[in-house]
Structure 1
Amino acid sequence: MADKLKITLIKSTIGAIPKHRATVEALGLKKLHKTVEMPDNAAVRGMIAQVKHLVKVEEI
């Protein structure tokens, strides 16, 4: 596993269910095509798995 993950919001949360919307915001993503760096741990991986259809993930 990598030390950090680069997570980018690639799809809008407008049509998403409220739980997914909250997860995207908890990841620190507010606008389309914005990127955040998060530590690579089980909690972050779980959040990414929940909204994998909305985000793009790169290991750095």
Structure 2
Amino acid sequence: MSIALVGLLAGMGLGFAAYFGGFGAFLLVAALGAIGYLVGRYVDGDLDPGDLFRSRDGRRR
């Protein structure tokens, strides 16, 4: 599945949530989608949790 198709499906899902559930449902679906994306990247081994908290110059605070 291409990245463009995944983006299309995600956009359609957010659009349906906004249309049928309002802005609150839109925000909830967007937040859960972002969390699901991060969990999926972690499970695939593409994301190290330390990368989210590391400063730009590579040193930990």
Q: Taking structure 2 as the reference length, what is the TM-score of the superposition?
A: 0.28
Normalized per residue, which structure has more helix?
2
Q: Taking structure 1 as the reference length, what is the TM-score of the superposition?
A: 0.28
Normalized per residue, which structure has more strand?
1
- Tell me which of the two structures has the higher relative contact order, counting C-alpha pairs closer than 8 angstroms and 6 or more residues apart: 1
Structure with bigger gyration radius: 2
